[in-house]
Amino acid sequence: MQLVRHDIYGKGKIKKRRFGGFELYVEFEDGIGRWVRRDEIRFLPDDPASEEQEPLGSISHEEQFKARQIVEALRLGIVPHKYVEEFTFGRKREAEQIRNWMSRRDEGSLLIIGEYGAGKTHLLEYIYSIALRDGWAVSLVELDPNESPLHKPKTIYRKIISSFRFGKKKNDFREFLRQIANNSKWHKLKEHAHLGPVIQSIRNNKDTDDYLEWIEGLSEAKYPTVEKHVFDSGVIIEKKVLGYGFMEERTTLGKS
């Protein structure tokens, strides 16, 4: 065991290393083990190991970026979103309740109640993280009396859709619809009043922006419809009604 000295914790023995030796797990004489940075300790002179024998090693850009994200989040007083599970302590009972709730599809809603600063937001972030990892589609929305008040359900709906994520790559709602359209079981939603036409449009490789903006709540237009008029002269007029006075018209010559 390599003996070291820390200016605050005193003497100790190195037990583990991580991040290429940048951090060392030291068991100090007070019986408590702590992760400390290498530059915070000194190797004792009588120990055969020297700093040269313990190369720091190179730290990858990915590790540096991860460390920067964590530091910046903590500096702002929030838990790093990507690493919320690593920063969740003393919540074993709540974590078990959350997992049990997620495993029962007929359990309905889960309400988290607590005083200010009790960790409600942290638990929501925790649920978001484990649900996303376990294959759920998730959305995290903060209700605000000014930006997303309860008396404006469409605004809340837009927030839900814009925050919608699923999969390891955290794909958005449009990618969700595309994957459904390319799935062998897509026909199960074919008769759905709203999703059916959108999925069918994606499968037919048609221009789906109008449908997608409508289903995402981004447009004030009503549900897009297409009217086709054929005249004896051979003129075909197609009108795409976008609602609220917006209309796209296309005229062609030929047979229907």
Q: What per-residue confidence (pLDDT) applies to 63?
A: 81
Longest dimension (CA), the chain: 104
How many Cα atoms within 13 Å fall on the side-chain side of residue 227?
Answer: 9
Q: What per-residue confidence (pLDDT) applies to 47?
A: 46
Determine the residue type at 228.
Answer: K
pLDDT (average), residues 146-164: 90
Q: Is the pLDDT of residue 223 over 60?
A: no
Q: What per-residue confidence (pLDDT) applies to 182?
A: 92
pLDDT (average), residues 179-207: 87
The band of 253, judged by pLDDT with boundaries at 50, 70 and 90, is: low
Distances (CA, A) of 57 to 54, 145, 159, 168: 9, 51, 45, 30
Q: Is the pLDDT of residue 132 over 50?
A: yes
Contact status, residue 51 vs residue 14, Cβ threshold 8 Å: no
CA dist., res. 131 & res. 163, Å (int): 14
Which DSSP string corresponds to 134-181? TT--B-----BTTTB-TT-HHHHHHHHHHT-BBTTTTB-HHHHHHHHH
The band of 243, judged by pLDDT with boundaries at 50, 70 and 90, is: very low
φ and ψ of 26, to 5 deg: -115, 130
DSSP, collapsed to helix, strand or coil, labels residue 102 as: helix
Assigned architecture for domain 3-59: Roll (2.30)
Q: Is the pLDDT of residue 174 over 70?
A: yes
CA dist., res. 220 & res. 232, Å (int): 36
Report pTM: 0.57
Contact status, residue 142 vs residue 148, Cβ threshold 8 Å: yes
Mean pLDDT taken over the chain: 79
Which tens digits make up the pLDDT trace of 12-27? Answer: 999 988 887 888 999 9
Which tens digits make up the pLDDT trace of 32-62? Answer: 889 999 888 888 865 444 444 445 556 777 8
Q: Is the pLDDT of residue 123 over 80?
A: yes
- Mean pLDDT: which of 6-20, 105-119, 174-188 is highest? 174-188
Domain extents in the chain = 3-59, 63-133, 153-215, 223-256
Give the other-Cβ count within 10 Å of 14's Cβ: 21
The band of 92, judged by pLDDT with boundaries at 50, 70 and 90, is: confident
